[in-house]
Structure 1
Amino acid sequence: MIGVNPTDSASLLAAFGALGVLVVIFAESALLVVGFFLPGDTLLFPAGVLCAASAQQAPRLVLWQVLLCAAVGAVAGGQAGYLLGRHGGRPLLARTSRRRVKEVTAQAERMLARYGYRKALVIGRFVPMLRSVLHPAAGALGVPVRTFTIWQTIGGLLWSQSLVLAGYLLGSSVTRVDDYLLPLVALIVAVSLLPLLAEARRTRRERRDHSGQTGS
């Protein structure tokens, strides 16, 4: 167990199985700076693949256990992150010295303001890094508890279950899928980062436009 790398999905799944999915997804959704560096998409998708049987070997994980652990970790982690943000999260975010964390926190706040609480809480679940600060940011901004709970639960279930099932379906239909797992995970991460990059571009454009108007 000492040699387990908490940022490596293969190491986590080999050591802890479905329980590792629960703990890591909870931490990624709740623990701010710590969760910022934990695998989310890159853990759920391979976990789904490992639930599938193939001609070469039997399933290495049990599908219902992984689905349940992913759901509990996502929903409970989101709620814990909200409570952390509601009770002192803003000072904690302000004290962090990591520039990237501060940038993503600002993007999370802008996303909540731009899209509204419901849409932001669902979309934000699918964006790496953003989902680690979205829930504490929602708590710090005073998003109503009922609204947050309903929509973070919907977003958490859609995100966690869809990625596990996608991995399972791929593992069931493609032979030797392990050979393609790393490129597939990289593709999932790249696609999920697109909303964050689009938001960053939009913000830079708005700042340029505002600077141009101020200068004129």
Structure 2
Amino acid sequence: MADWVQNLMDSLGYLGILLLMIVENLFPPIPSELIMPSAGFAAARGDMNIFVVIAVGTLGSVVGTLPLYYIGRAFGEERLVAWADKHGKWLTLRGEDIRKADDWFDRHGTKAVLFGRMVPGIRSLLSLPAGMSEMPMPKFLLYSAIGSGLWASALAGAGYLLGENYDQVEQYVGPASKVILGVVVVAAVLWFLKRKREQGAKA
């Protein structure tokens, strides 16, 4: 994977970074933890400018969030509420739960998008609730850009400083992202079990 990413950037330059960062948001097996450090290493070699690398990486990351945002927006809260009321019983999911989650995102969505863009494993997924809660596009783009810019700067800077050892960034961040994703899954399972117990107590 590392050789393929590096070869693509060598042949397409900044356009390669842009395309890879767009695709990374839709296909997580191509991780930003490999793309941006590799680009930072290219800058350290003098093949690219580190500031342009960060700017292009940020732009690609923000553009890559838009498909899931629009899918969430097209699906919408009301459709999801109606689906949950009709079919969500087997998931112990009610329309009321969807509305509560949407209310939470309305209150904390800016922080979720800002900091979530720097959390591997859930970076891309946050675009769906942002779209479903109809977060205004300018606000979504602004906070996505800030979070993505900080993330791209950290990764590219690490690759720049590590030089030929840039792939070590992915070796450390990769396992961390799996841990974070695991925590999210465990939290979802615990919520599911809690809802089951509550429904059992009411029955």
TM beyond 0.5: yes
**1:149 shift after superposition:** 2.4
- Distance in structure 2 (CA, Å) of the matches to 1:39 and 1:27: 9
User: 2:39 matched to which residue of 1?
Assistant: 47
Q: Is 1:11 the equivalent of 2:7?
A: yes
Give the structure 2 partner of residue 206 of structure 1.
191
Matched residue SS, 2:110: helix
Give deviations 1:25-44, integer Å, cap 9, x for gaps: 12333xx4xx3443322101
Answer yes or no: is the 8 Å Cα contact 2:159–2:166 preserved in 1.
Answer: no
- From the superposition, tell whether residues 36 and 183 of structure 1 become closer, same or farther in structure 2 (CA, over 3 Å): closer
Largest Rg, 1 or 2: 2
User: Is the 1:42–1:189 contact (alpha carbons within 8 Å) kept by the matching residues of 2?
Assistant: no
- Distance 1:7-1:75 versus aligned 2 partners, 3 A rule: farther
Residues 2 and 167 of structure 2 are in contact (CA less than 8 Å); yes or no, is this contact kept in structure 1?
no
Q: For 2:58, what is the secondary structure of its paired residue? A: helix
- Could you list the per-position Cα deviations for residues 108-128 of structure 1 after superposition, in whole angstroms to 9, with x for gaps in the alignment? xx6994682112112321234
Kindly report which structure 2 residues correspond to 1:37-116, keeping only aligned pairs within 5 A, or say none. Answer: 37-52=29-44, 58-79=45-66, 81-83=68-70, 85-87=72-74, 113=104, 116=108
Per-residue deviation at 1:88? Answer: 5.8
- Specify whether residues 47 and 111 from structure 1 end up closer, same or farther in structure 2 by C-alpha distance, changes over 3 A only: farther
Query: Is the Cα–Cα contact under 8 Å of residues 7 and 38 in structure 1 kept in the other structure?
Result: no
- Cα deviation digits, residues 168-194 of structure 1 (max 9, x gap): 1233xxxxxx2x444431211222343
Query: 2-side partners of 1:111 and 1:183: how far apart?
Result: 38
The alpha-carbon distance between structure 1 residues 41 and 124, as it changes in their structure 2 partners (threshold 3 A), is same
Q: Which amino acid aligns with 1:185?
A: E
Q: Which runs of 5+ in 2 are unaligned?
A: 80-100
Aligned CA distance change for structure 1 residues 69 and 111 (closer, same or farther; 3 Å): farther
The alpha carbon displacement at 1:62 in A equals: 2.7
Identity rate of aligned residues, in percent?
26
Q: What is the TM-score normalised by the length of structure 2?
A: 0.70
Q: Which has the higher helix share?
A: 2
TM-score, length basis structure 1: 0.66
Give the Cα separation in 1 of the matches to 2:197 and 2:17: 48
Aligned residues: 179
**CA contact under 8 A between 1:81 and 1:135: conserved in structure 2?**
yes
Name the amino acid aligned to 1:157: G
- Is the alpha carbon distance of 1:209 and 1:87 closer, same or farther for their aligned partners in structure 2, counting shifts above 3 Å? closer
